Amino acid sequence: MGVGFTLGRIATEQFATFPEQLDANQKVDIVHAFKFMLKPDVRQLGIVTSFDFKQKKAVVMKISVSAHFQIGEEAWSDFESKNKVVFPKDFISNITGITIGISRGVLHTKNEHTEFSRYMLPLLDISKVITSELTFEFPPTT
């Protein structure tokens, strides 16, 4: 089943480098986090991807990017039921992959021609990151 949606907005929520913390001879570990947000009144689902690049527990670079997806009316009707919206795992995996790709591009652009340009976001196995459907519940209406 194809899900009708469009990419409505992209934003760089946070970007910082800490060159004084960087040791070019040390390994960099990357810690990621994903946050989902819903605006049901406008059928919009947002995701923020955050990546911290660390050396010896010190953050040397940080990036957070958000992407906001407009869900089509028909798809929204399929996902919505009484007091909740349930997004299928495959759909959430798809938009997470899109947002990670956007983050990768933003990171490249921000770091081009700097000492941080050699650090990239690796490919992630989305099936290990997104393991179930995503449910947003609402308070019952009276």
Residue 142 has what pLDDT?
Answer: 60
The whole-number pLDDT of residue 140 equals 75
pLDDT score recorded for residue 141: 67
| CA-based nearest residue to 64, from 40, 85, 92, 35 | 35
Average pLDDT, the chain: 94
Distance CA 83, CA 93 (A): 23
Three-state SS sequence of the chain: CCCCEEEEEEEEEEEEECHHHCCCCCCCEEEEEEEEEEEHHHCEEEEEEEEEEEECCEEEEEEEEEEEEEECHHHHHHHEECCEEEECHHHHHHHHHHHHHHHHHHHHHHHCCCCCCCCCCCCCCHHHHCCCCEEEECCCCC
Each residue's pLDDT, cut to its tens digit, for the chain (142 residues) gives 567 999 999 999 999 999 999 998 999 999 999 999 999 999 999 999 999 999 998 999 999 999 999 999 999 999 999 889 999 999 999 999 999 999 999 999 999 999 999 999 999 999 999 999 999 998 876 6
pLDDT of residue 2: 64
Question: Given this model, what pLDDT does residue 51 score?
Answer: 98
Task: Return the exposure string of 18-39: e unless at least 16 CB atoms fall within 10 Å of the residue's CB, then b.
Answer: eeeebeeeeeeeeeeeeeeebe
Name, in order, each residue with C-beta under 8 angstroms of 122's C-beta and a sequence gap of 6 or more.
Answer: 30
pLDDT of residue 82: 86
Which pLDDT belongs to residue 138?
Answer: 85
pLDDT exceeding 70 applies to what percent of the chain? 97
Name all domains of the chain by residue range, CATH numbers in brackets: 5-137 (3.10.420.10)
Which neighbouring-strand residues pair with 69? 7, 45
